[in-house]
Amino acid sequence: MLIRKPADIQPSEITDHSLYLSRREFMKDSALALGGIAASLALPALLLHSQQADAATEKFSGVKKSPYSTTEDMTPYKDVTTYNNFYEFGTDKYSPAQLAGTLNPRPWTISVEGEVKHKKTYDIDSLIKMAPLEERIYRFRCVEGWSMVIPWVGLPLASILKKLEPTGNAKYVEFTTLLDTKQMPGERSGVLDWPYIEGLRMDEAMNPLTLFAVGLYGEVLPKQNGAPIRLVVPWKYGFKNTKSIVKIRFTDKQPVNTWMKTNPYEYGFYANVNPQVDHPRWSQARERRIGEFGKRETLMFNGYSEQVAHLYTGMDLRKFF
């Protein structure tokens, strides 16, 4: 199944967070009034999961501000946490916030495999201690044409990879999302070949911009945004940013990522934001920033050319898209 081009959604059409919560309360009250078995059992369970998905969690302390941050206005928290692509919880943009309450981000382990010295299964908290936490305000661009500016809290991936010590044979690093149909009901569908897999070249993974995010807006990462740990590569389209990671594998061969496997004509390995290379079914020259009216010009490498353009010197970016 392929992603369809969505109709442009105006910022005014995005439900206010308070109204969103009020709607759930109305649904809960209605369920109790009905008194039926299906309404009294199934619906409250779903509502509980929904409330857990976007409930406020603990805040981080001692987070350093990063010089890599953009000075652009940040997208409101309510939009960042209620308008998401996370097919493990459904293909609708609002499904992750409603359904991700089934995800249990603790305890959580990540296995490190392949061409690396320190092969091991790490508890996430021990992994987080490998590098200092930073807040990085990054532009985020989706292949479908919408964008945000998000204040991530995370760890420079390069710092973690150096401590894991990849071998000289490691040319790529592959990231795999959790496969658990009880926690991730969207994985019961055949929309993609699960689990979700993505990859980077080692020089991309080691770039100072690449981040393992564990939070946003100073708080622990919400479930619908990829808790407890996700990849953030700000010069690439959103589908490269693997969520809820459970495995890191170092390899000498280029990984076949999930969307490449699904439709290699439309989705390549690199997925660099490039206004000059259109998606086969729509232009990438302009984008719609969530929270703004109208569209803006898309920037090459999402505005991070100074930091990453050298990675692709001499490459045909139409061929290697």
- Residue 13 is predicted with a pLDDT of 39
Q: Is residue 54 part of a domain?
A: no
Q: Is residue 3 part of a domain?
A: no
CATH code, domain with 228 = 3.90.420.10
- Residue 238 is predicted with a pLDDT of 97
Domain that holds residue 116: 65-312
Q: How far apart are the first and last CA of the chain?
A: 21
Q: Is residue 40 part of a domain?
A: no
Q: pTM for this one?
A: 0.83
Amino acid at 154: G
Q: Is residue 171 part of a domain?
A: yes
Strand-pair partners of 287: 296
The mean pLDDT of 275-286, rounded to a whole number, is: 95
Q: Is residue 191 part of a domain?
A: yes
Q: Is residue 2 part of a domain?
A: no
In this structure, what token pair is assigned to residue 69?
A: 């941050």
- Residue 58 is predicted with a pLDDT of 84
| H-state helical runs in 115-251 | 124-128, 157-164, 202-205
Q: Is residue 277 part of a domain?
A: yes
Burial bucket for residue 229 (CB in 10 Å: 0-12, 13-18, 19+): buried
Helical (H) or strand (E) element with 41 = helix 37-53
Give the span between the Cα atoms of 246 and 320, in whole angstroms. Answer: 28
Residues 214-247: pLDDT tens digits?
999 999 999 999 999 999 999 999 999 999 999 9
Mean pLDDT of the chain: 87
Banded pLDDT at 53 (limits 50, 70, 90): low
Q: In percent, how much of the chain has pLDDT > 90?
A: 81
Number of domains in the chain: 1
The Cα angle at residue 121 between residues 118 and 124, in degrees rounded to 5: 110
Q: Is residue 265 part of a domain?
A: yes
Using the predicted structure, report yes or no on whether residue 14 has a pLDDT greater than 90.
no
